[in-house]
C-alpha cells in the first residue's frame, strides 16, 4: 500500500472513531429521552413578584399580576397579523399632530425631516373606576377620611380590608400624567427615569 493510501485509510479510521466517540456524548443537562416528552424546562422560576407598582416593576414575573390590574391606554391585538394597536383605557387610537422646530402646526403629510415634535391627544374612556380602597374613602362633607392620619392612628390595621370605610372614583387623564411624574421619585427604583430625563433635557419641547 502506498503512503498516500495508508494516510487516507488512517484519516478515514480516525473520522469513524471520532464519530463513534461523539455518538455517546450529549451536552443536554436533562435525562436521556427528555426531549421527546411534553415538558418545559427553565433555568429559574420564581413564583413571588418583586413589585406590584408598575413604576418600579421591570420584571417579567411581575407582569402576570400587574397586567391584570393596571390597564394602559393602548395594547396590541395579538391574534391579528400583523399586530394591531387597539384602545384599552383610551377611547380610540389617535393620529398625531405634527409641529416644526418653531412650534408651528404642520400638515398630516409633512415630510419627516420637517417634524420636530409629534403630539398625541388621547381621550380616556369615561366610566372607568378604581377598585374600592380606603384611600378614596370620603366623609359626608367630601373630605378624605384617611389622607391626614397621624402617627398612632393606624392602630391594628395592616391591610386595606382592615379599614372601616373605602371608596372609589373615576379614572381621569391626570392619573396618567401623575404616573409618569412618579418615575422621578427617589422613594422607589425607577430604571427608565434615566431615559426619560435624557430625552427631557436634550430635546426640550418648543411648545412648553
Q: What is the pLDDT of residues 39-77, one digit of tens each?
A: 777 666 667 788 888 888 878 788 888 888 888 899 999
Q: DSSP alpha helices (H): ranges in 24-117? A: 60-69
> Which pTM does this prediction carry?
0.66
- Burial class of 85 by CB neighbour count within 10 A (0 to 12, 13 to 18, 19+): exposed
22-31, 53-62, 186-195: which range is least confident on average?
Answer: 22-31
The closest of 63, 87, 56, 88 to 184, measured between CA atoms, is 56
Report the DSSP pairing between strands 74-77 and 97-99. unpaired
Mean pLDDT for the stretch of residues 184-198: 80
Beta strands in 41-187 (DSSP E): 74-77, 84-87, 97-99, 105-106, 117-119
pLDDT confidence band for 174 (50 / 70 / 90): very high
Contacts of 58 (CB under 8 A, 6+ apart): 191, 192
Q: What is the distance in angstroms between the CA of the first residue and the CA of the last residue of the chain? A: 90
Indicate the range of 73-87, 123-137, 155-169, 193-207 predicted with least confidence: 193-207
Whether the Cβ atoms of residue 131 and residue 168 lie closer than 8 Å to each other: yes
Burial letters 118-146, b for 16+ CB under 10 A, else e: eeeeeebeeeeeeeeebbbbeeeeeeebb
At 155 the three-state DSSP class reads coil
| Cα 90 to Cα 68: distance, rounded to the nearest angstrom | 17
User: What's CA 158's distance to the chain center, in Å?
Assistant: 29
Amino acid at each position: 500500500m502506498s503512503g498516500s493510501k495508508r494516510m487516507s485509510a488512517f484519516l478515514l479510521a480516525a473520522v469513524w472513531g471520532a464519530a463513534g466517540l461523539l455518538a455517546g456524548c450529549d451536552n443536554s443537562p436533562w435525562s436521556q429521552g427528555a426531549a421527546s416528552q411534553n415538558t418545559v424546562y427553565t433555568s429559574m422560576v420564581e413564583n413571588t413578584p418583586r413589585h406590584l407598582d408598575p413604576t418600579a416593576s421591570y420584571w417579567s414575573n411581575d407582569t402576570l399580576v400587574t397586567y391584570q390590574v393596571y390597564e394602559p391606554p393602548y395594547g396590541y391585538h395579538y391574534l391579528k397579523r400583523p399586530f394591531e394597536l387597539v384602545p384599552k383605557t383610551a377611547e380610540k387610537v389617535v393620529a398625531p399632530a405634527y409641529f416644526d422646530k418653531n412650534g408651528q402646526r404642520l400638515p398630516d403629510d409633512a415630510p419627516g425631516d420637517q417634524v420636530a415634535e409629534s403630539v398625541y391627544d388621547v381621550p380616556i374612556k369615561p366610566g372607568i373606576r378604581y377598585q374600592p380602597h380606603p384611600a378614596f374613602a370620603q366623609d359626608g362633607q367630601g373630605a378624605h377620611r384617611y389622607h391626614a392620619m397621624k402617627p398612632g392612628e393606624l392602630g391594628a390595621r395592616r391591610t386595606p380590608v382592615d379599614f372601616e370605610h373605602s371608596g372609589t372614583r373615576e379614572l381621569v387623564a391626570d392619573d396618567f400624567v401623575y404616573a409618569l411624574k412618579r418615575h422621578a421619585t427617589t422613594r422607589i427604583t425607577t430604571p427608565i427615569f434615566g431615559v426619560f430625563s435624557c430625552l427631557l433635557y436634550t430635546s426640550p419641547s418648543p411648545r412648553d
